[in-house]
Amino acid sequence: MRAVARMILALAIVPLLIGEIVFAAPRGHLLIIGGGRRGPEIMNRFVQLAGGPEKAHILILPMASRDLDTSGIEMVEEFRSMGVPNAEYLVLNHEQAMNPVSARKLEGITGVYFTGGDQSRLTAALKDTPVETALKGLYANGAVIGGTSAGAAVMSEIMITGDERQNKDTVNAFVFVRKDNIITRPGFGFVTRAIIDQHFVKRKRQNRLISLVLEHPTLLGVGIDEATAIVVDPDDTFEVVGAATVMVYDAMHATHIRTDAKGNLSASGMIMHILANGDRFDLASRSLIREGGQR
């Protein structure tokens, strides 16, 4: 009887252990800024998520920027002006990021911040390296990962590069909604349910995000305007923080998605949400969270 009881207990425990492994979710936060001016309400939130001024240990990764050291130093000074003594920057190329010694430099970091610039430079340095693995380990263990502009674009699995295949007019960019025009590359994949775009309303980037959402209707499109951020919680909900808006495109249930002879994309029943400061959205249920937590 004791042996049977032990067996029953073991069988009861196994699913719980499996559930812990299968359903374990990252415990950190993401703070994704659309570029432009970063108001104190945004940067103070980042510092608080990193543990507060006294406990935060923030690492700036400025590899998207043209002037790496200047960008890194400026961000260190900004965080220190906010009362964060433990802020530093680290510049790595791909070869250095492949060295496990570089990954160990991330130990003890509670907040990572990607600066703006060219997102392709950032992924070229860190993608598929031990440092990228260490970044995801930090996030899984509670750190906040943040970034602005290029540092926002790298957050999703599908990363917008800013380039087009069919329109070569750099003055009038993204002038149509067309298949196979927007060039993407693999991003870091902290966001798995959406494609992130930035400087969104300010630079009129709706066409490129709509194009990608119609090509990938299982993914949401989240366009974050300047001076605005989304704070993504571990449960895949986010809050809008800042001065402007966030636009969310949803083509999951759109019908008649097709391409004409010229490659123009069309669809019926696509959903658009326009969110402002304080609004909350659920990426999993693809719905606005109303007061009281109702979806």
φ, ψ dihedrals at 224, nearest 5°: -105, 125
Residue pair 35/236 in contact (Cβ under 8 Å)? The answer is: no
**164 catalytic per annotation:** yes
Q: Going by DSSP bridges, is the β-strand pair 271-276/280-282 parallel, antiparallel, or unpaired?
A: unpaired
Dmax (CA) of the chain: 80
| Residue 65 appears among annotated catalytic residues | no
Of 164, 215, 226, 239, the catalytic one is 164
The residue with tokens 């570029």 is: 35
Q: At what angle do helices 119-126 and 130-140 cross, to 10 degrees?
A: 100
Catalytic residue flag (residue 95): no
Do 120 and 185 meet the contact criterion of CB atoms below 8 Å apart?
yes
The closest alpha carbon to 232, from 189, 265, 183, 185, belongs to 189
Write down the catalytic residue from 71, 149, 156, 211: 149
Name the catalytic one among 29, 102, 157, 199.
199
CA–CA separation, 211 and 181 (whole Å) = 8
Q: What are the catalytic residues?
A: 149, 164, 199
